């Protein structure tokens, strides 16, 4: 009865269009009253315990790093290098767009930041080169989603926090699916734009582009190399990335003045200020649920009705794809990951690989209505109708679903970079 009343409370708050912060706070209070010790001040204590983790420091640092590079010229310099490399390919500019998104995503860790930074340069350039408007929009929006699967990824950090999974292992596992998505999207770009004449390779342009963009190009090498070799923790990598980005943009590129840094920090603070209260309450709720063995009870309940791990995975994918249409990635992870990860583990799925599967599903949600963030942001950034953006995204959604199926079928694609094993 108490469980049914909790579900009714959540549904009522959703109907009333209450923000996630209010819903989580109400759920935490309800759980403390009926399953805890009826001490609401325990919520504050659990919030402190939940946030008292070093890896949380990496979130504001990565957010700030992405803002610094967006305000500077890192994206433009990377795009110039990749455009020079891909010129001989049919649809070379489209391939450069996908690759630029992949590399910038590995720096910023954010889908929205990646899409806006790369899109602001590539959208007018591709349209001027007579690329189809729907393909151009689809490539930029789908390329932007690579920001949440290619490390460093803020959703991966959040997943690691709420499921007590190694963030370093999640980052390493993200390489495989990230490479798979990049290759598939690039191949599609070449196929669709095969009628566009390729350009002659220009060694002089590549040399100039490399000379001007070498400092920007070294960012992902330093960042990912440090994480993958174990030289940096996730938090240390975030600090190194931020310091490096500031030195490059302020003193080398000289595109970001010290007086501009106040606005950059303010924007990052606003984003962090909206994220951390939700994260704190979610982590406190996770502590209470674990203390009262709620995930364990869910495992027993699910195993009583579902025998097949495959059937479980099919049901989870349908659920996550639906949730991705209605909730942001961070919100979905905070709510569902603490409950689903233990169940997935009971069915034989490693928490790292399940995290990848969950994030890949939610990544697709960035492109699906009604709450596809990349669709909503692109509508304002590129001045396009929502229906046009949805049509543009459909082929890329299909390709991403294929990649999701491959990762589920062959989990070594992600785990190889964690344990070095193919099978």
Asked whether residue 362 carries a pLDDT value surpassing 90, the answer given is no
Q: What Cα–Cα distance (Å) separates residue 265 from each residue in 56, 71, 155, 183? A: 17, 11, 21, 35
The pLDDT value given to residue 130: 86
The pLDDT value given to residue 421: 66
The CA distance from 311 to 309, in Å, is 5
Asked whether residue 2 carries a pLDDT value surpassing 70, the answer given is no
- Residue whose entry in the numeric block shows the structure tokens 């709620």: 294
Is there a contact between 116 and 346 (Cβ–Cβ < 8 Å)? no
Q: pLDDT-based confidence at 184, cuts 50/70/90? A: very high
pLDDT tens digits for range 222-269: 877 777 777 777 788 888 888 888 888 888 888 777 777 777 778 777
The CA distance from 155 to 159, in Å, is 6
Is there a contact between 354 and 341 (Cβ–Cβ < 8 Å)? yes
Is there a contact between 122 and 75 (Cβ–Cβ < 8 Å)? no
Q: pLDDT-based confidence at 280, cuts 50/70/90? A: confident
Is there a contact between 358 and 320 (Cβ–Cβ < 8 Å)? yes
The CA distance from 186 to 139, in Å, is 9
Element (H, E) at 134: helix 133-145
The pLDDT value given to residue 119: 84
DSSP 349: -
- For the chain, the straight-line distance linking the first and the last C-alpha, in angstroms and rounded, comes to 46
The pLDDT value given to residue 202: 83
Choice between 397 and 194, residue whose per-residue pLDDT is larger? 397
Number of CB atoms found within 10 A of residue 199's CB = 16
The pLDDT value given to residue 221: 80
Phi, psi (deg, nearest 5) at residue 131: -75, 145
Instruction: Give the residue-averaged pLDDT of 72-86.
Output: 84
pLDDT tens digits for range 122-151: 888 888 888 999 999 999 989 888 878 887
Burial class (CB in 10 A: 0-12, 13-18, 19+), 185: buried
Burial class (CB in 10 A: 0-12, 13-18, 19+), 423: exposed
Instruction: Give the residue-averaged pLDDT of 388-407.
Output: 93
Asked whether residue 423 carries a pLDDT value surpassing 60, the answer given is no
The pLDDT value given to residue 402: 94
Is there a contact between 115 and 374 (Cβ–Cβ < 8 Å)? yes
Is there a contact between 330 and 362 (Cβ–Cβ < 8 Å)? no
Instruction: Give the residue-averaged pLDDT of 18-37.
Output: 72
Long-range Cβ contacts of 288-294 (<8 Å, 24+ apart): 288/28, 288/31, 288/32, 288/35, 288/36, 288/42, 288/46, 289/31, 289/338, 289/339, 290/338, 291/36, 292/31, 292/35, 292/36, 294/339
Choice between 261 and 188, residue whose per-residue pLDDT is larger? 188
The two three-digit tokens of residue 353, written as one number: 């690989």
pTM as predicted: 0.82
Phi-psi category of 383—alpha, beta or left, where left has phi over 0 and alpha has psi -120 to 50?
left
Query: Mean pLDDT in the chain?
Result: 81
Instruction: Give the residue-averaged pLDDT of 331-339.
Output: 82
The pLDDT value given to residue 306: 77
Is there a contact between 145 and 374 (Cβ–Cβ < 8 Å)? yes
Is there a contact between 121 and 76 (Cβ–Cβ < 8 Å)? yes
Q: 3-class secondary structure for 42-54?
A: HHHHHHHHHHCCH
């Amino acid at each position: 009865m108490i469980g049914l009343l909790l579900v009714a409370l959540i549904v009522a708050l959703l109907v009333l269009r209450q923000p996630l912060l209010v819903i989580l706070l109400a759920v935490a209070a309800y759980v403390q009253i009926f399953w805890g010790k009826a001490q609401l001040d325990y919520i504050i204590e659990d919030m402190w315990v939940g946030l008292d983790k070093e890896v949380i420091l990496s979130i504001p640092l990565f957010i700030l790093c992405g803002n610094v590079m967006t305000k500077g010229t890192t994206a433009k310099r990377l795009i110039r290098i990749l455009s020079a490399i891909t010129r001989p390919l049919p649809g070379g500019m489209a391939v450069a767009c996908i690759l630029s998104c992949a590399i910038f995503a590995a720096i910023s860790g954010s889908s929205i930041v990646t899409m806006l930074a790369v899109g602001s340069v590539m959208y007018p350039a591709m349209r001027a080169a007579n690329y189809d408007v729907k393909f151009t929009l689809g490539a930029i929006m789908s390329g932007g989603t690579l920001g949440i699967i290619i490390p460093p990824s803020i959703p991966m950090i959040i997943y690691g926090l709420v499921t007590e999974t190694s963030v370093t292992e999640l980052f390493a596992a993200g390489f495989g699916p990230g490479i798979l998505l990049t290759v598939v999207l690039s191949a599609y770009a070449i196929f669709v734009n095969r009628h566009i004449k390729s350009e002659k390779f220009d060694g002089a342009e590549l040399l100039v582009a490399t000379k001007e963009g070498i400092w920007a190009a070294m960012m992902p090498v330093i960042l990912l190399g440090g994480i993958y070799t174990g030289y940096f923790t996730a938090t240390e990598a975030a600090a190194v990335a931020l310091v490096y980005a500031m030195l490059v943009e302020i003193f080398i590129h000289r595109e970001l003045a010290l007086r501009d840094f106040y606005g950059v920090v303010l924007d990052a603070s606003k984003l962090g200020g909206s994220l951390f209260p939700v994260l704190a309450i979610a982590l406190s709720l996770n502590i209470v649920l674990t203390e009262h063995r709620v995930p364990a009870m869910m495992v027993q309940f699910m195993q009583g009705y579902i025998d097949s791990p495959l059937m479980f995975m099919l049901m989870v994918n349908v659920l996550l794809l639906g949730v991705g249409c209605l909730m942001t990635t961070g919100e979905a992870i905070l709510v569902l990951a603490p409950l689903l990860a233990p169940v997935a583990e009971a069915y034989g799925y490693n928490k790292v690989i399940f995290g990848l599967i969950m994030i890949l599903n939610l990544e697709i949600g960035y492109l699906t209505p009604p709450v596809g963030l990349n669709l909503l942001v692109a509508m304002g950034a590129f001045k396009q109708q929502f229906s046009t953006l949805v049509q543009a995204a459909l082929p890329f959604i299909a390709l991403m679903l294929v990649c999701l199926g491959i990762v589920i079928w062959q989990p070594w694609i992600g785990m190889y970079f964690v344990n070095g094993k193919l099978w």
